[in-house]
Structure 1
Amino acid sequence: MDKSHGIRRKSRYKLQKPRREKGLSPITRAVQQFEIGDKVCVKIDPSVHKGAPHHKFHGRTADVVGRRGRAYILRARDGRALKEIIVLPEHLRPHA
């Protein structure tokens, strides 16, 4: 049988929550606001499947360059290339 090549392939351990954080995340994470030009950290919330970026961007720092509905358009580095990704706010944290 052929291997499945789905979007969450090879991410079994990367997209697991620690034992004490299991379950749904707080609603404040879904309603947080960012401004254009802000730096954000991409941290995928595995309890929310919708609006998550590809798991290769997990842990990366990106710049907010726009909005699309409730989601944000981010510019992140992938090697030497700059990629634009569309991410819901549940998967973002403000960069310190």
Structure 2
Amino acid sequence: MRRSRGFRSRTRSKLKRSIRPNRPNPITKKIQTFDENDIVHIIIDSSIHRGQPHPRFHGKTGKVAKKRGSAYIVEINDGNKAKKLIIRPEHLKIQE
């Protein structure tokens, strides 16, 4: 037997949601908009699988580069390397 090493492996605690959230998936998360050069936090909503970044980027902060369809291209620094991620707005939160 070989163990599965899928996209969401070893994320049981990282992607865990609270037991009784107030509203599971508010529509305002899906229709929120961001401008270029906005600073955003990547907070993965585990109940929505579309447009999810890899769990290694959960909790990271980046800058919105541009919009692509209904998703956004977010630039982050992963160590010393700059990376571009395509993320839907349900998994992004504006920095206050």
Q: TM-score range by the shorter chain?
A: over 0.9
> Runs of 5+ in structure 1 lacking a partner?
none
Shift in alpha-carbon separation, 1:22–1:5, aligned structure 2, 3 A: farther
> Given the superposition, is the C-alpha separation of residues 23 and 47 from structure 1 closer, same or farther in structure 2, using an over 3 Å criterion?
farther
- Corresponding residue of 1:83: 83
Of 17-26 and 72-81, more deviation after overlay is shown by: 17-26
Aligned to 1:30: 30
Give the 5 Å matches for 1:1-96.
Answer: 1-21=1-21, 24-96=24-96
TM-score normalised over the length of structure 1: 0.94
Q: Provide the C-alpha distance between the structure 2 equivalents of 1:2 and 1:22, rounded to a whole number of angstroms.
A: 39
- Percent same amino acid among aligned pairs? 42
Amino acid at match of 2:50: K
Amino acid of the structure 2 residue aligned with 1:82: A
Letter aligned with residue 92 of structure 1: L
Misfit runs of 4+, over 2 Å: none
TM value normalised by structure 2: 0.94
Distance 2:21 2:83 in 1: 30
**Alignment: residue pair count:** 96
For structure 2, list consecutive stretches of 5 or more residues without a partner in the other structure: none
